[in-house]
Structure formats: C-alpha cells, structure tokens
Amino acid sequence: MIKLWNQEDAAWRLELQSGGEDALSLRMGENPRQLLVALGSDVTPELLRRAAAKAVKTAREYGAETAVLEAPGPLSREQLTAMALGASLAEYRQECWKECKDKPFTLYLAGGEDGEAALAEAAVLAKAVCFARDLVNCPANKLTPMDMAQKMTEAAQKRGVETLVLDEEQAKALGMEAFLTVGTSATHPARLIVLRYKGGKPEDAPIALVGKGVTCDTGGYCLKTPAGLKGTRGDMAGGAAVCGAVLALAENHVPVNVTAVIPAVENRLAPDSFIPGDVIGSMSGKTIEVGNTDAEGRLILADAVTYAIKREGAAKVVDIATLTGAVVQMLGFTTAGLMTNNDSFYEEFQAAAGRCGEQYWRMPDFPEYKKMIESPVADISNVSSDGCGSITAGLFVGAFAGDTPWIHLDIAGTAWVDSPRREYQAKGATGAGVLALYELCKGK
C-alpha cells in the first residue's frame, strides 16, 4: 500500500539521491534502516521508477514492513507518479497456488506537487499493468479463450467499457477463416473479444488496439520442443496489454475513443487441425498458404486487423503480439520490434513509449522483404522463404492493414523475463505494452 507521508513513523528511510555516483547504485546510510539509491545526474521519470523499485525491493528483502520514500525536491507530479508506479510494480506478486508468506508493506511517499493526484494516477496504471501480468502469468490450463473473454469483459464493464464477444459461429458468418483455422485446432473454442471505450466525441473514429491472444501455443502440427512449450502461456501478452491499456484509459476518463480487439485461441493439435501446405481464406478475401502452423499469431491478427478496420471503423491500428522468436535474437529482452506504414504515427508512438520508459526499435520494410512472403499458390504465405523472421511477420500483418495508419509491435522478448531486466519487473510477465499504448492513446 502506498500513501502520502504525513510524518507517520516508518521503520525504514529510503532516500533517492541525485549526484555524481553511478545511477541506481545502492548503499546503506549512516543510520540503521536507511537505504540510499543514487540517481546520477540525468534524472528521468524512468530512472525514478527504477530507483523507487530498487529501494522498495531491497527494503523488503531486509524484512521492512513500513518505509518512507524520499527524493530531492521539489518533485513534479510526473516525477511523483513515476516513483509511486515503480514502487507499486516492485510489489507485484504473481497469483500462487501455494501458501503466500509475504508480510504486508506500507510505503509512505514524501509529497510534492499534486501528491494525491499523482498517487491516484500511479495506482490506476499499476493496476492495469498488474492485470496484464496476472493474465499472462496464468497457466494455460487455467486460462482458456473463454476464461480470458470472461475476465476481460468483466474488468472492462466495471469501468463502463462496452464489450462484445463473438463466438465461432459469429466469426464464421464474418468470414474469419484465418482466425478460425487456428481456433478450431483445440477443443476449447475460440472467441473474438472486443472492448469499446468511448471517452471521446461520438463522431470520432476509434483507434484500434489489436492484441494477439493465443492462450497456449503448442505450435500445432509443427510442434514445439519441450523447452519451447514451457513458455507457451505468455502468448496472449499482446491481448493482455491492449486490455490493460483500455482499462487504464477508462478508469482515468481519458477523452478518446479506443477499441481493443483480441482474437483469443489455443494453437493445439486436433485430428483435423490445419497442417503445413494448407491454403486458407481470410476475412479480407486474401488467400493464405500456411507454411508453418507455429506461425499462427499472424493468421489470427490478419483477421482481427481486418475486423477492426471494416467492422469497428478504426482510423488507425496498432497490433501487438509475442510474434517471433527472431525478435529476441535481434533486440533481446529490453526492446521490442516495431514496424509501421506511417511516419507521423510512428513519431507519436515513440514519444509515448519514451514517456513510460518502454523501448521499441523500428525494423526496415524494403521491397525485397515483401517478396519473401509471396506464395506460388495463394495471395500471401505465412512464413518467409528467406529468413528475416520478425520483419516478414510484421509485413504479413501489415498486408491486412492496407493504407490505414498502422503500427506493429513484436513483444516476444519484452513480455516475459526469466530474470528481470528492470527493477520494477518480477520473474515472469512484465506487462509490456500497457503503458506505451496508454500513453499513445492519451497523447501529450
């Protein structure tokens, strides 16, 4: 729990100090139960998030139950929000199916400008990120597409967001063959989850956030290895991110129209599952040659992007997905891949990501890459003939966005960390994308 400090007794003092030392280095103070975290000379909001998280995590390791967190003032509202958010995220514990031994913890934040408002905003953002983390951490046997639809719509409705869940019959009537081809590989039925947040003017077309919702990705007939199967639960992190962003926008009453579209499926093995070599249709009318059943994310995103533009009237589209292993090879666990067809939309997005400390890097879209997903028998192939896995996966999805301003985010590396790369992360789901999408939709 985080509260504004009103001179209450707190057992620990956590001090963030600006100055020459290496940023984020930590030492004990002269008094017992005093921790000092250096901020260095360039104090960004991201550094404050990380420093606050580091202080809180360390104090907790020492068994602290109450602490006051201070930083050199005067602190702006943005800086206070950053500290509160970093501290809250550091307190995240994933849902556990055994007894939890954690002691409760109260953190007092030594005030500044608009203290209460800063704390309230940070609490909404932390809740949204932790909602996404919880969904992603949830094992596949406890989160089917229907479970996900239920959890997302329940949370959305609580915040006044309009929801719609399409079942397989309804998706079929819309011609969503690419989505259903993956969806019918499992006994648990597929669902298309739609969350419409209408905070803006009724006449303004929404921005669509399309998130991959594969609750378990076995690879299908192109079966993954045992090691590959272990990470499969996190394959709906894109869906969790778009839902988290909408929840935060709604709770903070941000004046925009945003529609989240989450194609939710399992990619499994059934006797009549699709196999490599199949040719399938899609809602757009384009035919697709399936080269690999493990490249399922782009198939469901193709139909979800078409749905967002045609049925929800989206003016702009962002898709976000744990799409390729290749992006981890390229950018590691701190930076996600990005592709776009629109430079100004790209600038807007990068500014938004910069405000919340998330890192994205733009991939090239030279003409030769498009050739790699040409098929001799269909309009497009779901795998590349010549490597460049993350670029060609992005271009595949982009083919369904057409001329609509579009951004593609590949978070396969950033959505999940076995060892945290930032102080406010914990082993497992990170909630990647929630804050960047929130900031993008909110605007500056």
Stretch that binds Zn ion, among 67-75, 207-215, 341-349, 359-367 (CB under 5 A): 207-215
Query: What is the chain's percent helix, strand, coil content, to nearest 5?
Result: 40, 20, 40
Q: Does 319 bind Zn ion (CB under 5 A)?
A: no
Burial-class residue 98 by CB neighbours within 10 Å (0-12, 13-18, 19+). Answer: exposed
CA 134-135-136 angle, 5° bins: 90
When binding is defined by CB under 6 A, the residue of 45, 297, 357, 428 that contacts ligand BES is 297
Polymer length of the chain: 444
Residue with tokens 């702009």: 316
Catalytic residue among 77, 127, 224, 370: 224
Q: How far is the CB of 217 from Zn ion (least distance, A)?
A: 4
DSSP 301: H
Residue 234 DSSP one-character state: G
Handedness of CA 369, 370, 371, 376 (dihedral sign): positive
Q: What angle do CA 351, 264, 131 make, to 5 degrees?
A: 55
Query: Does residue number 217 form part of the binding site for ligand BES (CB under 6 A)?
Result: yes
Give just the sign of the alpha carbon dihedral 347, 322, 237, 169: positive
295 interacts with ligand BES by CB under 6 A: yes
**Residue in this structure with the two tokens 């979800």, named with its chain if needed:** 304
String of contacts with ligand BES for each residue 99-128, x by CB under 6 A: ------------------------------
Asked if 48 and 16 touch (Cβ cutoff 8 Å), the reply is yes
Q: Name the pairing type of β-strands 380-381 and 288-289.
A: parallel
Cβ distance 439 to 423 under 8 Å?
no
Closest CA to 197 of 150, 128, 243: 243
Record the tokens describing residue 416, joined without a space: 């999940």
CB of 179 to Zn ion, least distance (A): 14
Q: Residues 298, 316, 355, 442: which is the catalytic one?
A: 298
Binding test (CB under 6 A) with ligand BES, winner from 296, 319, 348, 358? 296
Residue with token string 């060892």? 419
Say how far apart CA 65 and CA 85 lie, in whole Å. Answer: 19
Q: Which of Zn ion, ligand BES, none binds 412 (CB below 5-8 Å, type-dependent)?
A: ligand BES
Among 20-28, 99-107, 111-119, 210-218, which window interacts with Zn ion (CB under 5 A)?
210-218
Rounded Cα gap, residues 230 and 216, in angstroms: 10
* Smallest distance from ligand BES to CB 122, Å: 29
Q: Nearer Cβ to ligand BES, position 249 or 399?
A: 399
Q: How many CB atoms lie within 10 A of CB 104?
A: 7
| Shortest distance, position 301 Cβ to Zn ion, whole Å | 10
Strand partners, 207: 258, 316
Query: Smallest gap, in angstroms, from Cβ of residue 79 to ligand BES?
Result: 34
Q: How far is CA 364 from the centre of its chain?
A: 22
Q: Does 389 bind ligand BES (CB under 6 A)?
A: yes
By the rule CB under 6 A, 235 interacts with ligand BES: yes
Tell me which stretch binds ligand BES (CB under 6 A): 92-100, 180-188, 291-299, 366-374.
291-299
CB of 408 to ligand BES, least distance (A): 14
Under a CB-based contact definition with an 8 Å cutoff, are residues 215 and 235 in contact?
Answer: yes
Select the residue interacting with Zn ion from 206, 234, 263, 297 (CB under 5 A): 297
Q: Is 298 a catalytic residue?
A: yes
Stretch that binds Zn ion, among 7-15, 52-60, 230-238, 333-341 (CB under 5 A): 230-238
Contact between 326 and ligand BES per CB under 6 A: yes
Is 276 near ligand BES (CB under 6 A)?
no
> 234 to each of 111, 212, 231, 261, how far by Cα in Å?
37, 10, 6, 18
Q: Which stretch binds ligand BES (CB under 6 A): 148-156, 174-182, 281-289, 322-330?
A: 322-330
Per-residue binding string, ligand BES, 369-388, x by CB under 6 A, is: --------------x-----
Binding of Zn ion by 235 (CB under 5 A): yes
Among residues 231, 276, 354, 420, the one that binds ligand BES under rule CB under 6 A: 231
By CB under 6 A, residue 292 contacts ligand BES:
yes
Q: Binding of ligand BES at residue 305 (CB under 6 A)?
A: no
Token match 């006449």: residue?
203
Stretch that binds ligand BES, among 112-120, 169-177, 311-319, 320-328 (CB under 6 A): 320-328
Positions touching Zn ion (CB under 5 A) are: 214, 217, 235, 294, 296-297
Chain contacts with ligand BES (rule: CB under 6 A): 217, 231, 235, 292, 294-297, 322-326, 383, 389, 412
The residues that are catalytic are 224, 298
